[in-house]
Chains A and B, each alone.
Chain A
Amino acid sequence: MRSPFYMSSFLLCLVLAAACGGRRSGNDVIVAGSTSLQPFADKWAEIFAKTRPDLGVSVQGGGSSAGIQACKSGACQIGMSSRELKADEKDLHEIIVARDGLAVIVHPSNPVRGATLSEVKQIFAGDLVNWKFLGGPDKPITVVTREEGSGTRGAFQELVMGKTRIFRGAITEDSNGTVREIVAGDPHSIGFISLGLVNGQVRALGLDGVEGNEANIRNGRYRLVRPFLFLTRGEPTAAARAFIDFVLSDEGQRLVTNEGLIPVK
């Protein structure tokens, strides 16, 4: 009489066991962290799988802070961060795999072509509130920023704002794409996104008279540059080492260039 209950619980266990077992196989390297880096890591993993089909690489998002935590705790072999490590995170081993420029973007119809970094800082601090002070139309500036915890915001805070806070009235969105979408729709807005994501819908401002492009980043004149980091706890495992070597190889770095990032070599 009781057999159906035993039967069903037995089956349930079996299904659970199968589900767990299935997930474990083929993940020799888990790469987790920054969502800015994730799409590139996905591509690297895809190509890497062709040259080394014996090693399974699994890429997960979660954000820079989560990636750093996961790497510290050993939950992943490689952590990804799109911001510099803080003092208490410096015990991790860091490898720069690419660099990314940050662009300050405005609507294409905006007559303002450039600004100084200190003007940009004042705009995001909420002290400079009208385009007329920059030689534009007499319109209030709509400031668009990223949410707290985002690597892009962290990099912008460090490179532009320093200790000054981004003011409370700034519109906050949770991805590069949404920031670009809003700036593309609002003629009086300003925001910041990854340089590689600037397209025809928005225009990047020149900063301190320097255009943001690869040449200016390489020669060090464009200052808004952040590193894309791979992190390991101590020495990487053999499988992780192989993946990192691939990423730093000519083939891996070529992919970086194609995607609008700045290679490290």
Chain B
Amino acid sequence: MNRLEKKDRLIRLALLMVAFSAVSILAVITVFMFEQGTPIMFKYGIKSFLAGSDWYPSEKSFGLWPMIVGSFYVTLGALAIGVPFGLACSVVLTEFSSARLRRIIKPVIELLAGIPSVVYGFMGMVILVPFIRKTFGGPGLSVLAAAVILGIMILPTIISISVDAILAVPPAYREGSIALGATPWQTVRMVIMPAARSGIIASIILGMGRAIGETMAVIMVAGNAVGVPGSLLAPVRTLTSNIALEMGYAAGEHRQALFATGVILFIIIMILNTIANVTSSGRKRKTKA
């Protein structure tokens, strides 16, 4: 082995180490979180942790059910708002507007993703919450407020990925459909959307991941009550806000219970990401074939 080969090897090793550092950070976080969070789940029983509805850490009762339901409601609400708007926007951008307009509007929408979440939260607190309180009653800090804010926050994710998915549909599909006498809307509905389906689903799942993981904006507008919300206008607490709200003062088992909250959140997001990966790899295979 000459000197050059040695040097080559060394550099390869160094690069490998750097490349693996990212993976090992993930591994360290995962191990740490599970190590901190799981003992308390087993101590009090996984069932009472997941299904218990009383969260009074100072009295040793750790039920995450209201937060799990809360995260679910808020995310569902965000999708109910973000998906129709996002898909409509991507269809208009790809099918019913010129390439020039798209070149202007798409970057602007992607700029939305760059606004810090605390700004969304602040806008929500100052404008949306008082509006909901005056129009619909209740405290204003509610599932509805969180869903609207999150719905707006996931728009850039949904739009930019589904625009790319729709643009990736081969032009021949579109031309064939028009040639057979279909109207542009029929083409979109029956040819383009089904062909871009896996990309669109991936965009929705990634948006969903963003909505579940969002913390700051939700804390500011959701009211953070630990009960299962009875209506759209009731306050709600999500898994992420539970950690961020109480982290500052938590000690002992309370702290471990917050790590356990993180474990649950981690598992939910892993499942979502896996689904997103599977659907988008399905898309790649399809476009190749």
Residues on A facing B (Cβ under 8 Å): 1-2, 5, 35, 61-66, 68-69, 140, 142, 147-151, 154, 157, 165, 167-174, 182, 185-186, 189
Contact assessment for B139 and A186 in the assembled complex, using a CB-CB cutoff below 8 Å: yes
Interface residues on B, range: 35 or more
Q: Tell me whether A65 and B224 are in contact (CB under 8 A).
A: no
Query: Once A and B bind, how many residue pairs between them come within 8 Å at the CB atom?
Result: 94
Of A64, A148, A169, A185, which is within 8 A of B234 by CB? A169
Q: Name the distance in Å between A126's Cβ and chain B's nearest Cβ.
A: 9
What are the 8 closest A-B residue pairs judged by CB atoms, nearest first? A149-B249, A63-B249, A168-B227, A65-B251, A172-B224, A142-B139, A171-B223, A169-B227
Q: What are 19 inter-chain pairs, A to B, with CB distance below 8 A?
A: A2-B10, A65-B252, A142-B139, A147-B224, A148-B58, A148-B246, A149-B250, A149-B254, A157-B58, A167-B227, A168-B226, A171-B139, A171-B141, A171-B223, A172-B224, A172-B237, A174-B246, A182-B141, A186-B139
Contact B139–A63 (Cβ < 8 Å): no
In the complex, what's the smallest C-beta–C-beta distance from A48 to chain B, in angstroms?
26
Which residue on A lies nearest to B248, using beta carbons?
Answer: A63
Contacts of A182 in B (CB 8 A): 141
Question: Cβ of A170: which chain B residues have Cβ within 8 Å of it?
Answer: 225
User: Are the C-beta atoms of B249 and A151 separated by less than 8 Å?
Assistant: yes
Q: Which of A2, A149, A165 has the most CB of B within 10 A?
A: A149
B235 at the interface (CB under 8 A from A): yes
Within 8 Å by CB of B57, from A1, A66, A149, A157, lies: A149
CB proximity of A59 to chain B, nearest CB, Å: 16
Give complex CA distance A146, B225 in Å. 10
Known A-B contacts A165-B56, A168-B226, A186-B139; the reply to A149 vs B237 at CB < 8 A is no
Say yes or no: is B7 at the interface (Cβ < 8 Å to chain A): yes
A168→B250 CA distance, assembly (Å): 19
Q: Which of A64, A149, A189 contacts B139 (CB 8 A)?
A: A189
> By the criterion CB–CB under 8 Å, are B223 and A65 in contact?
no
Contact B251 A147 (CB under 8 A): no
Question: Whole-angstrom distance between the alpha carbons of A35 and B130 in the complex?
Answer: 29
* Chain A positions within 8 Å of B250 at CB level: 63, 65, 148-149
Determine if B248 and A169 form an interchain contact, defined as CB atoms under 8 angstroms apart.
Answer: no
B283 at the interface (CB under 8 A from A): no
In the complex, the answer to whether B225 meets A185 with C-beta atoms within 8 Å is no
Interface assignment of B266: CB less than 8 Å from any CB of chain A: no
A62 to B251 CA separation, bound complex (whole angstroms): 10
- Residues of A close to B140: CB separation below 8 A: 185-186
Complex alpha-carbon distance, A84 and B108, angstroms: 54
Q: Is the C-beta of B55 less than 8 angstroms from some C-beta in chain A?
A: yes
CB of B77 within 8 Å of the partner chain? no
Q: Map CB proximity to A onto B26-70 as digits: 1 under 8 Å, 0 otherwise.
A: 000000000000000000000000000111111100000010000
A172 touches B10 (CB 8 A): no
Q: A59–B189 Cα gap in the complex (Å)?
A: 63
B49 to A: closest C-beta gap in Å: 16
Instruction: Kindly report which residue of chain A lies nearest to residue B57, judged by CB atoms.
Output: A148
A-contacting residues, B161-216, CB 8 Å: none
CA distance A68 to B251 in the complex (A): 10
The answer to whether A1 and B139 touch (CB under 8 A), given A174-B245, A174-B248, is no
Establish whether residues A168 and B66, one from each chain, have CB atoms under 8 Å apart when the complex forms.
yes
Give complex CA distance A157, B57 in Å: 13
- Within 8 Å CB of B223, what residues of A? 171-172
Q: When the two chains form the complex, which single residue of B6, B14, B138, B225 contacts A5, counting CB atoms closer than 8 Å?
A: B14
In contact, B55 and A148 (Cβ under 8 angstroms): yes
Contact assessment for A185 and B130 in the assembled complex, using a CB-CB cutoff below 8 Å: yes
When each residue 220-254 of chain B gets 1 if its CB lies under 8 Å from chain A and 0 otherwise, what string results?
00011111000000110100000011101111101
Residues of B within 8 A of A68 (CB): 251
Q: What's the Cα separation between A111 and B248 when bound, in Å?
A: 36
Please report the C-alpha to C-alpha distance between residue A169 and residue B233 in the assembled complex, in whole angstroms. 12
In the assembled complex, the Cα of A174 lies from the Cα of B216 at a distance in Å of 12
User: Roughly how many angstroms separate A171 CA and B139 CA in the complex, as a whole number?
Assistant: 9
A146 to chain B, nearest CB (A): 9
Bound CA span A185–B6, Å: 69
- Residues of chain A contacted by B139 (CB below 8 angstroms): 142, 171, 186, 189
Tell me which residues across on chain A come within 8 A of B129, comparing CB atoms. Answer: 185
- Selected from A65, A154, A174, the residue in CB contact (under 8 A) with B219 is A174
